[in-house]
Structures are given as structure tokens and as C-alpha cells.
Amino acid sequence: MDRIIINGGQPLSGTISISGSKNACLPIMAASILTDQNINLSNVPNLEDIKTMSKVLTSLDVEVDTSKANENKITLKYLNTGKSIAEYDLVRKMRASILVLGPLLARKRHASVSLPGGCAIGARPVDLHLNALAKLGAEFKLDRGYIECSAPKGLKGEEITFPTISVGATESLLMAATLAEGRTKLNNIAIEPEVIDLIHCLQSMGAKIEITDQRTVIIEGVKELFGTSHNIISDRIETLTYVIAGALTGENLKIENIQLEHVSNVLEIFKSLNIDFSFNNSSLNINKTKIFQGIELETREYPGFPTDMQAQLMVLLSKANSESVITENIFENRYMHVPELNRMGANISVEGKKAIIKPSEKLIGAEVMATDLRASVSLILAGLIAEGETVVNRVYHLDRGYEQVESKLKNVGAVIKRV
């Protein structure tokens, strides 16, 4: 099994280019089921989750042309055969596989999808997806680990208010409603940039979607959707991860191919930490942050502070000159990286939803184990500033969401390798 080895203490200087967003790409790939025509995607990251979704879609008779994958381009074409079963061996690897359910119901009126797997960071139940689809006329049952869904009379437009904000449920209903009969109104939707990117792609396919206020969208069902070409947005979480890398040990580190409007909310928080950065069009320049005070913050749905950044921020806050507190409101069980960071000399304690980060004089390299995607990269960030050698095990989590992380860091001066 691969490991990443880091010898810390090296300044990062040079340019890192941000990849496309996998969290935007995955639902857009699933949307290929909504049309028989080609969906041409560019700025597609070369990641394990993209490969897994490609396999899921291939099993459903979507042709996935990866001949230009080295150019970060793929083409998808749904053949619309009788296949509508997303099987366990594929779906268990990634929770986002559930996103094929809505499009399959819209096109085939029936679907069988295994209950999904993925990172062990909380329950993330699919109830929100299923209850909302039921309001559009779907019927479902659980049978031997599979969600068996049908809509024998087709999907019908309806007004739906999500009881809690959910990115996945919003995306599922957006896709299903594009081909539902009549008008669907969705209230209390997620408004993450990845959701908006899906909306833009669906609109370019001929969907009639209107965002009427901040968390409400109206979809007028159409009889068919068409092919399109779409450029995936840049990955905001990767962007912010490398901003923290620069704040930890940067010397004029440049991060390019970013979309500033998607990270400006978090950059405002970073300003309060005296992170030394400046921006110019689609790039940021960052230098090491020397003295800053701790803060208190909570993870919230966009435009709040993203849960996908709390592990990385925790590393930076360990270098503050006063105590910090992070409250995790999105997922339970998402502090599994804390014991590993403490093994390296961090001083972090967990009390329910709160993590208390006390200043740490220095971090020491150690052998550590990644437990999920964001935990993985937090350990790499810690390794960049730790004395001595850090060995990060179970980096297959990392490969799900960070494209060529060791190459990108090595190119800007990190002493890092994969073995």
C-alpha cells in the first residue's frame, strides 16, 4: 500500500496550479444520463473518484471516452439501454454514486442503486434524497442493501422544502426535476459553487432552471435535454488547502487557476489570521504567516466556513499564539485526524462538537495514518512544517480528491515522495 514520506522544514516557492473540482464534476457526470447526446467536459481532475464514477456510469451503459484524459477532458454518451442497476462493488467505494438515482428515475422510471460507501466521517444518510424523490412520485424500498426505486407514472413537479440543507439531495432533485412533468420548486437548497456549476451545465443542456432567491430554485420540466460542452470549475477546497500550505511555509508561493469568488468568504476569515496573501485575477500569492492570534469559528453550509477545510485549518491554528476553537456542525465523527496530529506534537482536545487547539511550540515527524480525504492532506500539511520525517499511511483517501499532490508540492520545494 502506498505511503507518502515528507521531510519537513522546507520553504515552498514557485507556482501550484489548481485542478478542476471533483465535487462539481461528479454530479455533472451523472447528468449525462439525462440525454442521449454527448456531454463534453473539460478541466476534469484525474482522481480516483472520477474513475469510480466513470465505472459506475459505464455499468449503466454510459460510454465514457477518456482518450483525452491527459488533457483533463472526457466525453460521456448515454446509450439508454435497459440497464438501471448500480451495483455494490462500485457504489460502495464512493457516496457520490447515489447521484445516479435521480437521473435514472427521470429517464427509465426505475432504478436499483446499492447503498453507497465512502469516507467514514458520519452517517450522511440518503433519506433526504429518497423522501424528496417520493414527493415527485417515486416509490422506493430497501432490499438486501439496495435502494429499489420506481416511478411508473413518471415524475411530477411538486414544491419541496428540504428539512436540512444538503448538497447531494439538492443535486439529485435538480437532475430529476429537469425531466419531471410540470413545475418543481425546491426550497432550502444548498448553494455551494458546485451546485451552481451543475445548474449552469443543466441549463446549457436545455433545462429550464431559475434561482428565484438565495435558497430557492424553480425547475420547469422539459421533454428532453441535449448535449453540451462544459468546463468544470476550479476546486475551491484544493485552493484553500494550498493557501494554508503557503501560510505555514511559503516564500512567495503562487497559486493559479483559481476562482476568487468561490473562496472569498474563507479568505476573509484568513485575513483575521494575518495570512499574508495578495491576489491578481485568477492567482494568489502567499507568504509564511509569522504571528497571529487564535480564533473561534464554526463549520457551516456555504457561504459559511466549509467542513472540508477544518482539518487543514487545525494545523495552521496549532501555530497561533493563543487558543482556538473549531465547532463542527456538518458531520459527526470528523475529528479522527486529531489523535494523529497530536502524535506529531499538536495540542488538540475534543469536547463533543468542539475541537480546542492550543499553541504548539513545534511539530515532530512521526508515522501517522489517514482516516479520510481531508484528514490525509492535514497530515501532509503538518509534515511540511514538522522536524524530521513524517510517514503518512493509507493515502488512497488522498487520491480520491487531490490530483498529484506530491508532485505539486515537490515542484515548489517540498521534500516529499510516494513509496
Indicate the domain borders of the chain. Answer: 3-19+234-418, 22-231
Confidence of residue 119 (pLDDT cuts 50, 70, 90): very low
Fold of 3-19+234-418: UDP-n-acetylglucosamine1-carboxyvinyl-transferase; Chain (3.65.10)
In the sheet that 389-393 helps form, which strands lie side by side, from edge to edge?
367-369, 389-393, 3-7, 415-418
Tell me the CB-side half-sphere exposure of residue 410, using CA atoms within 13 A.
10
Give 356-410 pLDDT, tens digit per residue.
999 998 999 999 999 888 889 999 999 999 999 999 999 988 988 999 999 999 9
Highest mean pLDDT, choosing among 93-102, 110-119, 192-201, 271-280:
192-201
E strands present in 320-418: 324-327, 347-351, 354-358, 367-369, 389-393, 415-418
The residues, ordered by sequence, that sit 6+ positions from 246 with a Cβ below 8 Å of its Cβ are 12, 253, 255, 277, 286, 287, 288
Closest CA to 180 of 126, 106, 240: 106
**Cell 443543466 found at:** 202
Confidence of residue 281 (pLDDT cuts 50, 70, 90): confident
- Judge if 3-19+234-418 and 22-231 fold alike in CATH terms: yes
pLDDT score recorded for residue 107 = 94
Positions annotated as catalytic residues are: 119
pLDDT score recorded for residue 125 = 66
3-state DSSP percent of the chain in helix, strand and coil, to 5: 35, 30, 35
Fold of 22-231: UDP-n-acetylglucosamine1-carboxyvinyl-transferase; Chain (3.65.10)
pLDDT higher for 349 or 370?
A: 349
Task: Tell me if residue 206 falls in helix, strand or coil.
Answer: coil
- Per-residue pLDDT averaged across 227-233, rounded? 98
Buried b / exposed e over 334-371, threshold 16 CB at 10 Å, is bbbbbebbbbbbbebeeeeeebebeebeebbbbebbbb
Out of 22-36, 92-106, 397-411, pick the least confident. 92-106
pTM (two decimals): 0.95
- Per-residue pLDDT averaged across 132-143, rounded? 92
Q: What is the CA 179 to chain-centroid distance, rounded?
A: 26
